[in-house]
A and B are shown apart, each in its own frame.
Chain A
Amino acid sequence: MWQFFHKLGSPKWFFGISTRFAPWFLTGGMLLLVTGAVWGLAFAPTDYLQGDSYRIIFIHVPTAMLAQSVYIMMASAGVVTLVWRMKLADVFVKAVAPVGLVITFLALFTGAVWGKPTWGTWWIWDARLTSMLILLFLYGGVIALDRAINDEKSAARAVAVLTLVGVVNIPIIKYSVEWWNTLHQPATFKLTEKPSMPAEMWVPLLLSVLGLYLIFGWLACVRMQTEILCREQRSRWVKEFVTTGRV
């Protein structure tokens, strides 16, 4: 186990293994996402209350879940950076923060599009929406701080402290729907309970959630590879990779 842990700290090892895994993430993710989306948009039954407008759930829920997961992953990587000073952890945070920002924006945007037909308004200052907006700001702050510090190591550790402080927002987003009486409906998926919707609805939703997570995995791998190549550009293995294409 510890050997694996040490290997994980080596950018070269990660680069080699991720170039092999990344294409599988992409194909698997695309397959699941397309299946989920086509099934959900074209074949899933119509909701008796919301009509066809509910179908945006097949994009909205995956992005909203991923937006929070990415932040938690970044905070976990932040702990690793601060405690073990592992290079890969801060490569991950740096590579993934812009992805998180875009995903959070997509969650807010699809939510707004869904809100218009069901609530009659694009935006409401509701607990869930506001805390997602704060999440968007937090991603923005993390990216801004990372870009502002020139020294790589200091930037990584400063960003780690910031993500850890911001993590207080995650439980607020998660439970805002249960703590406050808001317009937003409660969680669609819970680990402990059966979904409250028929299988023809939740199966495609689950597929698109898994699909988006896999796509995120692919995106993270590719962006981390780029970051690693930039950071290690002076090392010999990178020169070899660039000239021969082999790691």
Chain B
Amino acid sequence: MNTEAPPEVRLARNRVGVLAAMKGVFARDIKLAFRQRQDLLNPLLFFVMVVTLFPLGVSPEISFLSEAGAGILWVAALLSVLLSLDHLFRHDFDDGTLEQLVLQPQPLFLLILAKTVAHWMLTGLPLVLLTPVLGVMVHLDGNSIGVLCLTLLIGTPVLSLIGAIGAALTLGLRSAGVLLSLLVIPLYIPVLIFGTGTVAAASDGAAVGAYMALMGAFLMLALTLAPFAAAAALRISLSNG
């Protein structure tokens, strides 16, 4: 008895391996993003501008800023990731690429994971790299800046991963932007609490190992579960339109 898959299925499976497909999706997103450089800069500019609002709007006192600085930077980073989420699937949805991705023989959640990683490299990572400069501007001490960068380095991928679920759910809806924020912000709050909590503990001179471990746990949880939820949400949104 022949237990092998039919030839056309075998062909489709053999053509591109899962890893190669993920690499392809990743490279495509990076390349497309670099064709539209202004879109890459916008979240960073937004990040810097939001941080600027606080010293001007609340108080430029060094005592206030060094106390609240980590929280301000975290909130600003969270908001700029939130704003950039719309780009994650929008263009691919508009030009039909997303439907082709769904039709691929490779598991959709892995392709989405590749897209999300690309999104993080293009928004989250630059934010982390910019943080030391802004940290100095809000008078954080060196140790706090280091810990803050580390929490953002672990935290921003979580933001991208959770955001992918929200972006997939709101794809193609009217007023998707506001709705996306409404869905995603409640899920961001725990990450924010632990992120800023770590920096607060560090500036009090406490050990941050446990906090970092919790942040790492968030990352692992998001990394393993969020792509599945995003893939399910994406299929629903595509069958919608």
Contact = CB atoms under 8 A, between A and B. Distances in A.
Interface of A: 82, 130, 134, 137-138, 140-141, 144-145, 148-149, 151, 154, 157-158, 161-162, 164-166, 168-169, 172
B229 A164 contact: yes
A216 B174 CA distance: 33
Contacts of A158: 169, 233, 236-237
B110 interface: no
A148 B236 contact: no
A82 B185 CA distance: 24
B173 interface: yes
Contacts of A145: 169-170, 179, 183
B3 interface: no
Interface in B117-175: 162, 165, 169-170, 173-175
A138 B240 contact: no
B75 interface: no
B182 A161 contact: no
Contact of A144 (B183, B193, B237, B239): B183
B186 A138 contact: yes
Contacts of B193: 130
Contact of A148 (B165, B174, B189): B174
A161 to B, nearest CB: 5
Contact of A157 (B162, B170, B236): B236
A138 B193 CA distance: 17
A62 to B, nearest CB: 24
Residue in B169, B170, B179 whose Cβ sees the most chain A Cβ within 10 Å: B169
Q: Is the interface of A mostly helix, strand, loop or mixed?
A: helix
A166 B186 contact: yes
Q: Is the interface of B mostly helix, strand, loop or mixed?
A: helix
B213 to A, nearest CB: 14
Interface of B: 162, 165, 169-170, 173-175, 179, 182-183, 185-187, 189-190, 193, 229, 232-233, 236-237, 239-240
A25 B174 CA distance: 39
A82 B169 CA distance: 14
B186 A137 contact: yes
Residue in A138, A162, A169 whose Cβ sees the most chain B Cβ within 10 Å: A162
Nearest to B169: A158
Given A134-B186, A166-B186, A161 B240 contact: no
Residue in B174, B183, B187 whose Cβ sees the most chain A Cβ within 10 Å: B183
A161 B170 contact: no
Given A144-B179, A148-B173, A154-B240, A161 B233 contact: yes
Nearest to B188: A134
